[in-house]
Amino acid sequence: MAVVEEIRPTTDALLKTKAPKRPANMGQFLRWFFLFLGGIAMVMPIAFMISTSLKWPHEVYNLRLIPEEPTIENYTYVLEDGRFYWWFVNSIIIALITTVCNVIFDSLVGYTLCKFKFPGRYIVFIAILSTLMIPTEMLVIPWYLMSQQFGWLDTYWGIMFPGLMTAFGTFLMKQFFETVPDDFIEAARIDGLNELQIWWTVAMPLVKPALAALAIFVFLGNWTAFIWPLIVTNSVEMYTLPVGLSSFGDEADVQWELIMTGAAISTIPTLIVFLIFQRFIIRGVVMAGLKG
Amino acid sequence: MKLYRDLTIRQKHIVWAWAFLALPVVFYTVIRFYPTGNAILISFQDWNLLGSRTWTGLDNYIKLWNDPVFWQVFRNTFVYLLLGTPVSLVLSFIIAYHLDKLRFMHGFLRMLYFLPFMTSAVAMAWVWRWFYQPVPIGLFNNFLASIGIPQIEFLNSTTNALPSILAPAVWAGLGFQIIIFMAGLRAIPKSYYEAARIDGVSTWTVLWEITLPLLKPTIVFIVVFSSIGFLRIFDHVFNMTTNNPGGPLNSTKPLVLMIYQSAFDSFDMGYAAAQTVVLFLVLLVVSLIQLRLLRDR
């Protein structure tokens, strides 16, 4: 008797939960289906860019995603010309140097504002914070005049100087240095390390994930930067990839397979980096987005 | 060196701190603050780069006020904002909300949605520009033709061009917003949902009464972040309309493009600087209003 009574409610409960389970699974399938369709739609522009860059001119205007006779002719043509090669090298150099500078200086300033007590700290903090409100577009005219005056037009330095330090990076790093215990720094001081050594050998290794997040953001930002390089460069050899692609697109006019090749050349490197470090980059984006 | 050794620990710290900050302070002064002041100064001057700079008081601002192109541009800039921000906010929330509840192929789908964020705006502007071309070139119109729907003029029409240019900008930003939304959704304690389930609350009520209110900080961040982006739109417009930047008939021209043309096509530096001051004020006011509205409710 007792056994039966114990079983009955459980079977009831089982039946109850089982009944609505089928629609729930159906719902889950629909959810997956629509998200999948949406995801495919999201990458379609990228897929068509790459597929068209592998097509012969006569095939360009059909709707096939997979080229009938794939060719790398467009790539050899575009690269033989040499300009994309320079632009690629320019973009790499500029993005790398800017990234290294940001990683060093933003973290140094963030660390100082976080771990030192000194007169003027609050003023420096507020001053740097306030630069977040100033849009780049407001500064390009004075930067241009400055570059003209000092002969920085059309040089790497001219392209790079506005972005060597950023307030965003400084605050990101400051937030993360808050998580480094003061005891570690105190212990290092007792061990006789000077402040520069403490920052570099004790504090910096503890915020490596944040440094990586910052590096990703700065690199991507400079790799895709357009308006300032467009203004500051005049000669074709000094263009960065986006500026070069923009001028190339105008010149190639209706040869869309060549334009797609150029677009692919400037997009594929970041896509590959993303596919390799996917988890890492997404975590970095969340960190930068929520803390910065 | 002896001087340094005689300092107290506190004084040594001050020396180190300022030594670390020396270069950055110079940088922020010369590359951020001085140019800001300079831009405001130039906005009260008349200068074409070659001739002399003359003070003109408020003339540039008066000229701006009386310039019909400016008002068109001002309107366009806000259309980008008012269309782009809600659309991308709603889309990214819907996708993040459902993706968060999905286990099967979760990582793969997340990757698909995030991939466009890693592309360069210039490259993708050209790709979309190709999509938008009329038959027999453009992908969209070829597709429409193949299923027998009449052609759509995307970039050549004064009404369609602006949304057409906005689309790739929204597309590229979605992945970032989805990731931020998913992080926000994860941060909501599970116990709230369990309590709601025990009370037998409907999914819809849970969404409106628990999920959305608790996501408010995330929503504020995304709204402010994407608004600033849409108000400063430039790369897409410039590259999709290179034959006639901001066209047709200025119907797609945003403020930043007008600044670029005034400064570097017409070399009217004072006029361009006045526009940058307006841009600065617009960004300031819009961010402050949004923070107010979204924080206090």
Residue with tokens 């009404």: B159
How far does B74 lie from chain A, in Å, by closest CA? 16
Query: Does the distance separating the beta carbons of A241 and B120 come in below 8 Å?
Result: yes
Query: Does the distance separating the beta carbons of A242 and B121 come in below 8 Å?
Result: yes
Cβ-Cβ contacts under 8 Å, B136 against chain A: 61
Contact A241, A95 (CB under 8 A): no
Helix, strand, or coil here: B120? coil
How far does B159 lie from chain A, in Å, by closest CA? 23
Query: Does the distance separating the beta carbons of B13 and A117 come in below 8 Å?
Result: yes
Question: Boundaries of CATH 1.10.3720.10 in chain A?
Answer: 81-291
In tens digits, chain B (297 residues) has pLDDT values of 667 777 788 888 888 889 999 999 999 999 999 999 999 999 998 888 877 788 888 889 999 999 999 999 999 999 999 999 999 999 999 999 999 888 888 889 999 999 999 999 999 999 999 999 887 788 888 888 888 888 888 888 888 899 999 999 999 999 999 999 998 898 888 888 888 888 888 888 888 888 898 888 889 889 988 999 999 999 999 999 988 888 788 899 999 999 999 999 989 999 999 999 999 999 999 988 888 887 765
Helix, strand, or coil here: B55? strand
Which pLDDT tens digit goes with each residue over A39-63? 999 999 999 999 999 988 888 777 7
DSSP A170-224: HHHHHHHHTTS-HHHHHHHHHTT--HHHIIIIIIHHHTHHHHHHHHHHHHHHHHH
Reported pTM: 0.88
CA triple A264-A265-A270, angle to 5 deg:
85
Contact B80, B254 (CB under 8 A): yes
Percent above pLDDT 90 for chain A:
46
Query: Does the distance separating the beta carbons of B174 and A42 come in below 8 Å?
Result: yes
Residue in B32, B111, B122 to test binding to A, most A beta-carbons within 10 Å: B122
Sequence-distant (≥ 6) Cβ neighbours of residue A116 within 8 angstroms: B13, B14, B16, B17, B20
How far does A1 lie from chain B, in Å, by closest CA? 30
Contact B234, B53 (CB under 8 A): no
Cβ-Cβ contacts under 8 Å, B112 against chain A: 39-40, 42-43
Which amino acid belongs to residue A207?
A: V
- b (16+ CB within 10 A) / e for A261-277: bbbbbbbbbbbebbeee
Domains of chain B by range and CATH? 2-42 (no CATH), 67-296 (1.10.3720.10)
CATH pick for A81-291 out of 1.10.1040.50, 3.90.1170.50, 1.10.3720.10, 1.10.20.140: 1.10.3720.10
pLDDT-derived band at A6, boundaries 50, 70, 90: very low
Strand partners for B46 = B54
How far does A116 lie from chain B, in Å, by closest CA? 7
Strand partners for B54 = B46
Residue in A31, A33, A35, A170 to test binding to B, most B beta-carbons within 10 Å: A35
Query: Does the distance separating the beta carbons of A38 and B277 come in below 8 Å?
Result: no
Helix, strand, or coil here: B102? coil
